[in-house]
Amino acid sequence: MIKKYVFGNPIETGAVTADIEACSGAVEFFNEIEADGGIIFNYLMNDSDIVYGLGEANRGMNKRGGFYRSFCTDEPNQTEEKQSFYGVHNFIVITGMISIGFFVDCPGEVSFDIGYTSSNMLNIRLKSKDFVLYVIEGKNAYDTVKQFREIIGRSYIAPRWAFGYQQSRWSYMNEDEIREVVKKHRENNIPLDAVYMDIDYMERYKDFTVSDEAFPDFPKFVGEMRECGIRLVPIIDAGVKIEDNYDIYEEGKEKGYFCKRSDGSDFVASVWPGKTHFPDFLNTEARKWFGSKYKSLTDCGIEGFWNDMNEPAMFFTEEGEEKAKQLISSFDFDTNRQDKFFELGGTIMGLANRSEDYRNFYHNIDGKKVRHDKVHNIYGANMTRAAGEAFEEISPDKRILMFSRASYIGSHRYGGIWTGDNQSWWSHLLMNIKMMPSLNMCGFLYSGADIGGFGCNTTRDLLMRWLGFGIFTPLMRNHSAMGTRRQECYSLGDTEDFANIISIRYSLIPYLYSEYMKACLNNDMLFKPLSFEYPTDGFASEIEDQLILGESLMLAPIYEQNAHGRYVYLPEDMLLVVFRSSAVRRYQVLKKGIHYIKAEINEVPVFIRRGKLLPLCRTAQCTDELDTSMFELIAFTDDEIEYVMYEDDGISKDYDNKNNYIPFQIKRVDGVLGAASPKTVVKLSLFGQND
Ligand code: MIG
């Protein structure tokens, strides 16, 4: 049951698509207090309540004990105390004796104190009095999430090629460097479907330009790559460079499509291109205009994009610069004490993403002037929307890959997300694991983290283990920052291990794509906490480093350096499959309970749930070459079972065709269990509980 409460005069965020009638009266379950010009909602939790949700947020799956500030933030240093990341997803579920979902639909700042100040007190603070609140009563946490997902509309659907392995790095400077990346993958039999183009491909970091020098004949190069089974995915940044005769700048200025200062002049922020203006994505016309620009690249054969810097991130503004200059000129190195010195440093560093700057510019929302900080959290989301809506026109029949850095619930209908600038830290691999279900709860299904870590120097074993999890995430992209140690799989020695681990991904694509598509089409989750599938198992609810993946699998990734295995909790009997490559595996039937399982650095453990089966195809060097006419089945059952696989051409949009559902059955014929399917089953590996 869902109740909607409208407070004041909210700005439409587009998060909820369902038409729900607002109810009057006090908000159920929550205590409401007015404070500091805003409102605080309180909820007294039971000791054993778990709080799920918040999408792209810090800490564990269970959000208890933390303080979270919803304010889209460029945060490349994601340490444990950080309160804000790139995306804002204000949905939580409190579950225990009862399950209550709470969605705060407010485009301005909101904070969640979930037992941080006082262990059982949940405290949600809004700076504004204009917002919409949804309170959802469900049978359990999973049911509450599903009800929520129903009202926010269907998640964005990525093309199937985007399930291939993708290589990125900030600093591929020209087409030869990209050719080299592709060549090295192919030479080493490391499958690959896409190479990313970071800001270096542009002409002076200008959106929708391609450097002539670096890419003399871009459409031809796109075609050449396509011939090798590779798609190029260029980045688009939020800020538009101020440069005379640059068409995007000239048009935007002339039509008034940029965000403005209070005096009506165009707001200026310095980012990669130097001084830029921010397109006003909240202005319908400006959004359409910016979206239409993607066509210049799709016309060159581009089929996917990533939107960056759209929190929006700023290095500094003219206002900030002024302040810093004053401070520097009055600073006396001879007489000033340490604290003054650190104040100076802090001021310089603090020029980036300054809260004052976010209060210094305005949007034009249907003719209404709205100060940015009041709608900050939907800025990036509307950049994704600009792209998504434009793709409907530019490419009505074919899917285009789109994912963004900043996001808000609602933008999950237009694109996926990646989780921004993590580091090559083992703790960030664990954070990636814990975050996946939370993202799914909020509608973000096509998502993933920078595999191997973006910042810092990776290590071979970290990349191997990260791939051991990354082979299961829809977005499987190795990305690293300029200046860090090279992180392509062929750069770290013994490339065969990398080729093998990525081959596992390719043989899993039919299953992963099937489960992803079903999750999209049924407003369901792809990654679930164990407790969602085993709600009465008290132990399962405390496990945060194991996940349910789709219908058949449980994952228990290894995320510690030098580990040769790990402890795993099985909520029921399961079949352990340890993959060494797509073709080399070992099996073991394990009883419910705790086990230590061994998995060397080049091995990936996967668990098949009881009564379930996993279809695998033969691996390939890219998705174009995947042969999905033949399958091998691994089944864990003593009885007849069925797995229905979703399959389509991966690019058109005929999702509702019933021919897209293909059964795989384990059937008893003359007393013996065997495989039956319209597909060719080349091999059945069947395990029963007594094996
Ligand atoms: O200020 O385009 O998160 O993926 O490589 C850094 C360069 C800007 C941040 C993105 C990262 C990308 C980088 N960008």
250 alpha carbon – ligand 1 mean position (Å): 26
**Residue indicated by tokens 């399930």:** 163
Contact 274, 369 (CB under 8 A): no
Within-domain flag for 175: no
State the total domains in the chain: 3
Within-domain flag for 551: yes
The reported pLDDT for the residue numbered 323 is 84
Within-domain flag for 583: yes
CA 116 – CA 109 distance, rounded (Å) = 18
The reported pLDDT for the residue numbered 327 is 82
The reported pLDDT for the residue numbered 340 is 78
172 alpha carbon – ligand 1 mean position (Å): 13
Q: How high is the mean pLDDT of the chain?
A: 97
Domain boundary among 134, 152, 170: 152
Q: CATH number of the domain that 24 lies in?
A: 2.60.40.1760
Strand partners, 645: 662
Query: Ligand 1 pocket check: which of 201, 314, 421, 424 to mutate, most ligand atoms within 8 Å of Cβ?
Result: 421
Contact 110, 90 (CB under 8 A): yes
Beta strands in 474-540 (DSSP E): 476-478, 527-529
Contact 162, 134 (CB under 8 A): no
Q: Which residues line ligand 1 (CB under 6 A)?
A: 170, 198-199, 235, 308-309, 405, 420-421, 454, 479
| Model confidence, pTM | 0.97
The reported pLDDT for the residue numbered 186 is 98
Q: CATH number of the domain that 638 lies in?
A: 2.60.40.4040
CA 312 – CA 292 distance, rounded (Å) = 20
The reported pLDDT for the residue numbered 443 is 98
Which long-range contacts (C-beta less than 8 Å, at least 24 apart) are formed by 140-143?
140/95, 140/99, 140/532, 140/535, 141/50, 141/52, 141/93, 141/95, 141/99, 141/529, 141/531, 141/532, 141/535, 142/525, 142/528, 142/532, 142/533, 142/535, 143/99
Please give the residue range of the domain that contains residue 519: 515-687
Question: What pLDDT digit, counting tens, does each position of 424-478 carry?
Answer: 999 999 999 999 999 999 999 999 999 999 999 999 999 999 999 999 999 999 9
309 alpha carbon – ligand 1 mean position (Å): 7
Within-domain flag for 617: yes
Question: What pLDDT digit, counting tens, does each position of 513-566 carry?
Answer: 999 999 999 999 999 999 999 999 999 999 999 999 999 999 999 999 999 999
421 alpha carbon – ligand 1 mean position (Å): 7
CA 622 – CA 629 distance, rounded (Å) = 16
Domain boundary among 351, 378, 397: 351
Enter the DSSP assignment of 129.
Answer: S
Within-domain flag for 177: no
Within-domain flag for 502: no
**Residue indicated by tokens 């595996």:** 585
The reported pLDDT for the residue numbered 154 is 98
Spans of the chain, pLDDT less than 70: 336-337
The reported pLDDT for the residue numbered 336 is 66
Nearest residue to 164 via CA among 185, 188, 180: 185
Within-domain flag for 385: no
What phi and psi values does residue 289 have, to the nearest 5 degrees? -60, -50
Say how many C-beta atoms besides its own lie within 10 A of residue 640's C-beta.
12
Beta strands in 490-598 (DSSP E): 527-529, 547-549, 553-555, 565-570, 574-579, 585-590, 593-598
Q: How are beta strands 553-555 and 672-676 bridged, if at all?
A: unpaired
The reported pLDDT for the residue numbered 329 is 85
Strand partners, 401: 304
The reported pLDDT for the residue numbered 324 is 85
Query: Ligand 1 pocket check: which of 235, 270, 315, 404 to mutate, most ligand atoms within 8 Å of Cβ?
Result: 235
The reported pLDDT for the residue numbered 637 is 98
CA 553 – CA 603 distance, rounded (Å) = 17
Domain boundary among 351, 373, 400: 351
Within-domain flag for 576: yes
